Amino acid sequence: MPEKHDTSADREQPSRRNFLKSGTAISAGVASGLATTRAIRGAEPAEGSSQLVRIGLVGAGGRGSGAVNDTMSINENIKLSAIADIEEQKLGALRKSAVKRYEDKIDVADHKMYHGIDAYRRILDDPEIDLVLFATPPGFRPQYVAEAVDAGKHVFAEKPTCVDPAGYKICLSAHEQAEKNGTAIVTGTQYRRQTNYVEAIQRLHDGVIGDIIAANMRYCSNGIWFRNRKEGMSDTEYQIYNWMHFIWLSGDQIAEQAVHNIDTLNWVMGGPPESAYGSGGRFTRPEGSEMWDNVVVDYVYPGNRLCSFMCRQIPGTQSDNSNTIFCSEGQCTIYGGNRGANIVDRKGNEIWSMKGDIGEAYKQEHKDLVDSIRAEKPIVELKATAESSMTAVLGRMAAYTGQLVSWDFATNESKLNLFPKDFDIQGTRPEPEFAVPGRTKLV
């Protein structure tokens, strides 16, 4: 383990810690996206609002590096001060590329680069770190976020925030604890801050095209990476390295990727569904992958509103990332990425449209987070994102088992806990197993 040095003298004054930890949390607003975002954007900065915020990153892969760039590009007077990753070589690579772009905002000494399975704890133990960004595989997220909240840190947590009902419950407790602490939790559901999403959904909630009746959401793409085992890796090390393909780590594509659309669905519908009925299967996945190629789910939301959802990752197929919401007087389509949104009346006449800019949304979540800390009104939005992650899990449970599954069962009675009870980084793991409806049990 790297040696720890006390460099606190030049870092912080007692008043700074009080300032950074004394907020009154804002939470429910994220369920309505716009309200929260506007409220925070409009918040008056508290006294001392320019004080330095020190950041630690856990998970220095693709999105970890993206999150660092996003926050560096939009926030002033912040410093990346520590990096943790299970793989040592990720640390130097991330620091090097971050320094090239944001030299004055990167202050990661060699002894603040931690590697190994417990590396995240070194960041949580570091009193200099105010804010921790989590971008590990999702299976670790509930526990890591809960420990960060217990340690009094502000948190940015990538999506999904849980991959099973056990993780969902941990998220709910962490949300409550953060509210009590006055510490922030912002999540990587960037569409909640993407202007065309916010404006479209505000119009739907304002009733511009009548009552919301049903929806159809798709996240269909061409496939995903697969990482071959490297010599010398234990089973556990290999599964973490190739995490997408193991359900305890990724939650399968419905949770890992399509949670964006499911989050949009919950946002539009005002909360999670009552039940799910689903199907799907696998045809092209490499041997050793537990993932399905596609999942289709019919969700029923309160008011008997039926919403159909589909996700697919099959090479050579046509991609589509879109969300269509059917209302009594028209319909609204919001496309993923930069493809914009529009609203038409029942005759198909366009009555509103707007372009999209996902790059701005990725930055906005980090601006909202840091602004909310400085305004002493820390955003706590883990509950809504945990609900969306759990809605994806509910759909997966229905599809994997071939049963109709209620939200009530999944969140109150299910005993599903995918995290290995005997977790050992050097240990063996059972042979990969994929779900077969009718055989896979609902637990």
Ligand X SMILES: NC(=O)c1ccc[n+]([C@@H]2O[C@H](COP(=O)([O-])OP(=O)(O)OC[C@H]3O[C@@H](n4cnc5c(N)ncnc54)[C@H](O)[C@@H]3O)[C@@H](O)[C@H]2O)c1
- Judged by the rule CB under 6 A, the positions of this chain that interact with ligand X are 58-64, 84-87, 90, 117, 119-120, 135-138, 140, 158-159, 188, 190, 240, 256
Calculated CA dihedral for residues 184, 187, 188, 190, nearest 10 degrees: -90
CB-nearer residue toward ligand X: 188 or 273: 188
Instruction: Name the closest residue to ligand X (Cβ).
Output: 61
Residue 318 CA to residue 239 CA, distance in Å, equals 29
* Cβ-count burial 279-305 (b if 16+ within 10 Å, e if not): ebeeeebeebbbbbbbbbbbbbbeeeb
Among 75, 141, 86, 55, smallest CA distance to 389 is for 141
Minimum distance from residue 404 beta carbon to ligand X (Å)? 28
CB-nearer residue toward ligand X: 147 or 345: 147
CB-nearer residue toward ligand X: 19 or 140: 140
CB-nearer residue toward ligand X: 301 or 362: 362
CB-nearer residue toward ligand X: 115 or 285: 115
CB-nearer residue toward ligand X: 260 or 374: 260
Minimum distance from residue 235 beta carbon to ligand X (Å)? 15
The answer to whether 369 touches 377, Cβ cutoff 8 Å, is no
The answer to whether 194 touches 34, Cβ cutoff 8 Å, is no
**DSSP letter string, 356-368:** --HHHHHHHHHHH
Minimum distance from residue 137 beta carbon to ligand X (Å)? 5
How much of the chain is helix, strand and coil, in % rounded to 5?
A: 40, 20, 40
Minimum distance from residue 240 beta carbon to ligand X (Å)? 5
Among 383, 413, 349, 373, smallest CA distance to 152 is for 373
CB-nearer residue toward ligand X: 224 or 351: 224
122's enclosing H/E stretch is helix 119-124
Residue 339 CA to residue 319 CA, distance in Å, equals 13
Residue 217 CA to residue 332 CA, distance in Å, equals 12
Minimum distance from residue 141 beta carbon to ligand X (Å)? 7
Rg of the chain over all Cα atoms, to the nearest angstrom: 21
Q: Reduced to 3 states, what is the DSSP secondary structure of residue 395?
A: helix
The answer to whether 332 touches 343, Cβ cutoff 8 Å, is yes
Minimum distance from residue 381 beta carbon to ligand X (Å)? 14
The answer to whether 279 touches 402, Cβ cutoff 8 Å, is yes
Minimum distance from residue 65 beta carbon to ligand X (Å)? 8
CB-nearer residue toward ligand X: 291 or 405: 291
Minimum distance from residue 24 beta carbon to ligand X (Å)? 27
The answer to whether 46 touches 375, Cβ cutoff 8 Å, is yes
CB-nearer residue toward ligand X: 201 or 249: 249
Minimum distance from residue 104 beta carbon to ligand X (Å)? 25
Phi, psi of 167 (to 5 degrees): -65, -35
CB-nearer residue toward ligand X: 140 or 292: 140
**DSSP letter string, 257-285:** TTHHHHHHHHHHHTS--SEEEEEEE-SSP
Minimum distance from residue 86 beta carbon to ligand X (Å)? 4
